[in-house]
Structure 1
Amino acid sequence: MSKTLILTAILVIVFFLAEAIGLGYLLHPQKWVILGFFAASAFLFSRIMELGFRENRKNFIQFYLTTVVLRLLLSIIFIGVELYRGLKQQELFVGNFFVLYLFYTIFEIWNLNSNLRRNSEK
């Protein structure tokens, strides 16, 4: 979980730097809401994964796939609600959301792979 917090802190710094160097037009005004959504979902799903890994390692794959499907469904609901509220610059919002979704997913897979590799060596 601490690695996810570090990732989120790095993204906060990147957001501030993007605005400082004049690239703020590439970020939607709701970027903090999007980042908050991903930080909260990463925290929730990492706890679920830890529970699945600790309780029964045989069910780890089912726990992981469940979290992937839940994250996808929550993301679709989040985007739908935000677009329904009449958001301006909808394409930029969806683009920023998609980039962060891929970023967090790749980071999660990388982190999971390193944890599983370390645990298989024992």
Structure 2
Amino acid sequence: MKLFQNFHLRFLVFSLFILGMVLILQQFLGHIISPSIWTIFYFVIILSYSVSFFALWLYKKSPENFLQIKLLGMVVRILASLTFIAVMVWKGEENIILFISNFFILFLFYLIFDIYTFISNLRPISK
């Protein structure tokens, strides 16, 4: 089970799970999935992975600044997400409400993953 403690592997397994859920929902309930779901999915994956990876890297460099690192990650994630939504709406997204709801559902799934990773790292930090 030491292998599953690797952040990269957990992120990959979680992303494959979300990918499977999106494919199933797209197959059976296509009307609740935005036509831009794959753009959203790739953006959220790249954003979440890069923010989490850099947060872990910064934490290894400076463990005493853990709270500031997590707050910086949240700010970067929110600003990048709002910028992405603004650009997609400006480009002329067809159904804006469906697009934004799909975006925030995926965003919240990856945010929950980040929170879970954060909580699982609290025990080693407290020692």
Contact 1:4 1:42 in 2 (8 A): no
- Which amino acid in 2 is paired with 1:106? I
Measure the CA separation in 2 of the matches of 1:19 and 1:103. Answer: 17
| Count of residues in Structure 1 that have an aligned counterpart in Structure 2 | 120
TM-score by length of 1: 0.91
Match in the other structure for 1:57: 63
Local SS of the residue matching 1:28: coil
Instruction: Determine if the alignment matches structure 1 residue 36 to structure 2 residue 42.
Output: yes
Structure 2 residue 20 is matched with structure 1 residue 13:
yes
Q: Hey, what's the Cα distance between the residues in 2 that align with 1:30 and 1:8?
A: 17
Normalising by structure 2, report the TM-score. Answer: 0.88
Aligned match for 1:24, one of 21, 30, 35: 30
Deviation at 1:121, TM superposition (A): 6.4
Match in the other structure for 1:110: 116
Tell me the percent identity.
Answer: 31
What is the aligned partner in structure 2 of residue 73 from structure 1?
A: 79
User: Structure 1: which 5+ runs fail to align?
Assistant: none
Q: 4+ residue runs of structure 1 moved beyond 2 angstroms?
A: none
Match of 2:102 in 1: 96
**Cα RMSD (Å) of the superposition?**
1.3
Partner of 1:2: 9
